């Protein structure tokens, strides 16, 4: 794991955007895995700005999203389909046919999950997988106790996670109980994992994932086993790390070719 700590979420998101933009410029036909939620919003805004102001070209990319709620139509305002179209896809030159989102309305969920996995393999696998982290340590919607080798499948959301997203649905009763999500094994196949976490409320989960044991009870901890996992934090999210000073020293003393 490489831990990148920045003063605030804005500067952290700028670093994350530079990492993704560098990949896109070096590999115009890259495959990206994308997360939703509040955490990556500033990253996506920075990428949109780079597209408009710096001619960052998305036309050759292929994108897959991490998850979708079961039972929600794509046009539902709280669907993850709607989120990514509103905040990213509608504002860049990414061809519609290169966008892949799990089908939350499929009548055959297991078959749709197998098809999604096959589509990822056919595209060549992820060059980068963007991730957030839940307060209970989930990535994607791989809740605590998820298999560390799991693949795209249906998952039942915990009460804690449903409370976290309730505001987006106008109340807890409207939050779906189930999602289709990429598995931890699918995420770990990415050539780079880029996890972002901001705010004091994420500090405990970050500390457990980065410095705690690898355990299915903290699904994000599996990233300790990844050959290239970058964890980009603001100071609040990093506040529970015992070795935060060391991580900052490492970043400050990198050779120029390693800097972001």
* Domains and their CATH numbers in the chain: 8-189+211-219 (3.40.50.1360)
Average pLDDT over residues 109-121: 98
**Chain segment 7-60, per-residue pLDDT in tens:** 999 999 999 999 999 999 999 999 999 999 999 999 999 999 999 999 999 999
**Sign of the C-alpha dihedral computed for residues 213, 216, 219 and 225 taken in this order:** positive
Q: Which of 194, 166, 170, 163 is nearest to 66 (CA)?
A: 194
88 by DSSP, 3-state: which?
Answer: coil
Cα(101)–Cα(84) distance, integer angstroms: 10
Residue 164 or residue 70, greater confidence: 70
pLDDT bucket at 111, cuts 50 / 70 / 90: very high
For the sheet containing 193-197, what is the strand order? 2-6, 229-234, 193-197, 128-131, 31-34, 62-65, 99-100
**Sign of the C-alpha dihedral computed for residues 159, 164, 165 and 169 taken in this order:** positive
pLDDT at 118: 98
Average pLDDT over residues 131-138: 96
Phi, psi torsion values for 63, nearest 5 degrees: -125, 140
Q: Which of 109, 65, 106 is nearest to 84 (CA)?
A: 65
Looking at the predicted structure, is the pLDDT value of residue 259 above 90? no
Q: Percent of the chain, pLDDT > 70?
A: 100
Looking at the predicted structure, is the pLDDT value of residue 112 above 90? yes
pLDDT at 258: 87
Cα(169)–Cα(175) distance, integer angstroms: 6
Exposed e or buried b per residue across 150-162, where buried means at least 16 C-beta atoms within 10 angstroms of its C-beta? bbbbebebbeebb
pLDDT at 260: 87
Q: What phi-psi label fits residue 137: left (phi over 0), alpha (psi between -120 and 50 degrees) or beta?
A: left
User: Quick check: 150 and 185 in contact, CB under 8 A?
Assistant: yes
**Chain segment 148-199, per-residue pLDDT in tens:** 999 999 999 999 999 989 998 999 999 999 999 999 999 999 999 999 999 9
């Amino acid at each position: 794991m490489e831990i990148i700590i920045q003063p605030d979420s804005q500067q952290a998101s700028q670093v994350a955007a530079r990492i993704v933009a560098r990949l896109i410029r070096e590999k115009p036909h890259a495959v990206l895995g994308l997360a939703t939620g509040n955490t990556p919003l500033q990253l996506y805004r920075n990428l949109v700005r780079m597209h408009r102001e710096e001619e960052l070209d998305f036309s050759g990319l292929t994108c897959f999203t991490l998850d979708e709620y079961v039972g929600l139509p794509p046009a539902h305002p709280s669907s993850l389909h709607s989120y990514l179209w509103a905040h990213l896809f509608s504002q860049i030159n990414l061809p519609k046919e290169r966008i892949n989102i799990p089908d939350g309305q499929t009548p055959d969920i297991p078959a749709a999950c197998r098809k999604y996995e096959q589509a990822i393999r056919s595209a060549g696998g992820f060059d980068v997988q963007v991730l957030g982290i839940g307060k209970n340590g989930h990535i994607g919607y791989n809740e605590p106790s998820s298999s560390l080798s799991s693949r795209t499948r249906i998952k039942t959301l915990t009460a804690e996670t449903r409370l976290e997203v309730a505001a987006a649905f106008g109340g807890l009763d409207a939050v779906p109980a189930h999602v289709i999500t990429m598995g931890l094994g699918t995420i770990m196949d990415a050539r780079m994992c880029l996890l972002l976490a901001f705010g004091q409320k994420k500090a405990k989960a970050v500390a457990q994932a980065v410095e705690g044991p690898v355990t299915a009870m903290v699904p994000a901890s599996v990233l300790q086993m990844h050959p290239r996992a970058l964890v980009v934090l603001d100071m609040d999210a990093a506040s529970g790390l015992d070795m935060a000073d060391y991580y900052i020293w490492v970043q400050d003393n990198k050779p120029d070719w390693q800097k972001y």
